[in-house]
Amino acid sequence: MINLLNNKKLLKYGSYINGEWIVDGNYFDVINPYNGETLAQMSGCNPQIINKSIESADQAMSTWKTLTARERNEYLIAWYDKIIENKEDLSIILTLEQGKPIKESRAEISYGAEYLKWFAEEAKRIYGDVIPASVSGKKILVTKEPIGVVAAITPWNFPNAMITRKVSAAMAAGCSVLVKPSELTPLSALALAELAHEAGIPEGVFNVIITDKPQEFANEVIASKIVKKLSFTGSTRVGKLLMTQCGHEIKRLSLELGGNAPFIVFEDADLENAADQCVASKFRNTGQTCVCTNRIFVHKSIYNLFLELLQDRLNSLKIGNGLDENTDIGPLINSAALKKVENLQQEAIEKGAHIITGGNVIGKLLIEPTILCEVNTDMAIYHQEIFGPIATIIKFETEEEVIEMANDTEYGLASYFFSKDYAKVWRVAEKLQYGMVGINTGMLSMVEGPFGGIKQSGFGREGSKYGIEEYLNLKYLCLGGLD
């Protein structure tokens, strides 16, 4: 692996705490999902080290929060420049440990870096208010202050961008951060830490805690009175558990949880564009994203034509090693993920669904892009987040019917629909019960947009001008005696 990189210093094997690299035993393997090879032996932290990292983050924040917004801006821009300078190496590391095609990894590195640049500027726009008082001799002022030390738990499916999206906002606000990346993909997080170090980010402001025991990390940061905020991206099941635990300390939370995104194709849609966007949304990262299309609703009048267009596009996708420049579909992350996808597909077939194309496992963790038709509400695949390359197709007749079906889920993260009728666009957009709605596009993640969901997909927003507010406290100042 190391021979593939220009900057050999990006490969690290232990935690980054208070500006130092910590290797303290508790080793576990990092596996390449494409071929099963061991990429690295990683040293995990014990609870004592985690506690020390919390203390050092607290000490670092006492200085970091007093810097001017322009000074924090300059640090974040320096980090951004380092990431762009090392983009190719970071992409290779990401593909090797996560499996996604190298062209998608490059896109993730660029996308993730943009959050640093965005929030570097937002640091200079943390505005307060002066409110007219209803009583003479008084003035009302509202200021904003950094919330405190922040803990962030990030997932394996976007091991670079999910870190930068959280920490850039927190650091811009004046907070120090402890990041616990997935034990499946720690190398990308540590490479970011090395570049933060090279960029001169002060010791203790950005820390990466490596452990294959995520509950130990969660226990320590939730119990700590120093850590004021937890930001988590992951499953709804774990999010509910963390929310319960954080309630004991009234700790601030941001939760970006599961999804079950509908993708609606109305009879007046541009079908070529809808098919292109469906493939982009459904099969990006082998279907392993929280905003992936999960249920595809197609109007009965264009059902057969849309299926043909979709099948043509799937037949051109290349499956294989993510390091191959021509690969479109990489492996699933591990055997548990493959088993889940296979079980969902098999249960649907047993209940009447049938495969139009794909459906075969063609390698250790590789599965063909699949179209599954005749899917209905009795099937688990209709209700659960698939997290794999299976497109489930459902026929509909009326606008009212499809909106009801689309909203028939506990989740409320992303949704998509396609129509040229702008009256319909407004009607449907308002009626869909989701935090994000893609209209005539299947790709809606941008740094300028507020990313997040409703219902059991969580709460809080990342990115946009709203993202920095998650890391700030409002303070109301009432000045009297001004007569």
The radius of gyration computed from the CA coordinates of the chain, to the nearest angstrom, equals 23
CA of residue 160 relative to chain centroid, distance: 9
Contacts of 189 (CB under 8 A, 6+ apart): 154, 159, 160, 163, 179, 181, 208, 210
Distance, CA of 95 to CA of 84 (rounded, Å): 17
The tokens describing 425, both together, are 């666009």
Contacts of 304 (CB under 8 A, 6+ apart): none
Q: Give CB contacts under 8 A, 24+ apart, made by 429-432.
A: 431/403, 431/407, 432/262, 432/403, 432/406, 432/407
The tokens describing 410, both together, are 């506990």
Q: Which is the catalytic residue, given 45, 175, 278, 290?
A: 290
The residue assigned the tokens 């098919």 is 275
The upper half-sphere exposure of residue 406, i.e. CA atoms within 13 Å in the direction of its Cβ, equals 29
The answer to whether 334 and 297 have CB atoms below 8 angstroms apart is: no
Residue 29 pLDDT: 97
Neighbours of 383 (CB within 10 A): 16
Neighbours of 105 (CB within 10 A): 28
Residue 317: name the closest of 347, 282, 293 by CA: 282
DSSP state of 96: H
What are the angstrom distances between the C-alpha of 389 and each of 289, 303, 344, 357, 473?
A: 11, 20, 12, 12, 41
CATH code assigned to 261-446 = 3.40.309.10
Residue 323 pLDDT: 97
Residue 261: name the closest of 434, 440, 400 by CA: 434
Residue 33 pLDDT: 98
Instruction: Please confirm, yes or no, whether 104 is among the known catalytic residues.
Output: no
The tokens describing 258, both together, are 């599961």
Q: Could you list the mean pLDDT of each consecutive 10-residue stretch along the chain, which spans 483 residues?
A: 90 97 93 97 96 97 98 98 98 98 98 98 97 95 98 98 98 98 98 98 98 96 97 97 94 97 98 98 97 97 98 97 97 97 97 96 94 97 97 98 98 98 97 98 97 98 98 98 91
- The per-type count for the chain, helices as H runs and strands as E runs, is 14, 22
| Element holding 103 (H helix, E strand) | helix 102-122
- CATH architecture under which domain 2-257+458-476 falls: 3-Layer(aba) Sandwich (3.40)
Residue 363 pLDDT: 83
Sketch the domain layout of the chain as residue ranges. Answer: 2-257+458-476, 261-446
Distance, CA of 206 to CA of 181 (rounded, Å): 13
The tokens describing 3, both together, are 């021979």
Instruction: Please confirm, yes or no, whether 290 is among the known catalytic residues.
Output: yes
Q: Which is the catalytic residue, given 114, 256, 469, 470?
A: 256
Residue 363: name the closest of 316, 311, 315, 322 by CA: 322
User: Backbone phi, then psi, for 63, in 5-degree steps?
Assistant: -90, -45
Helix (H, G, I), strand (E, B) or coil at 390: strand
DSSP state of 320: S
What are the angstrom distances between the C-alpha of 382 and each of 257, 308, 326, 391?
A: 18, 22, 31, 11
Distance, CA of 366 to CA of 368 (rounded, Å): 7
Residue 2 pLDDT: 74
The residue assigned the tokens 């774990």 is 238
The tokens describing 109, both together, are 């590195």
Q: For strand 27-31 and strand 20-22, is the pairing parallel, antiparallel, or unpaired?
A: unpaired
Fold match, 2-257+458-476 / 261-446: no
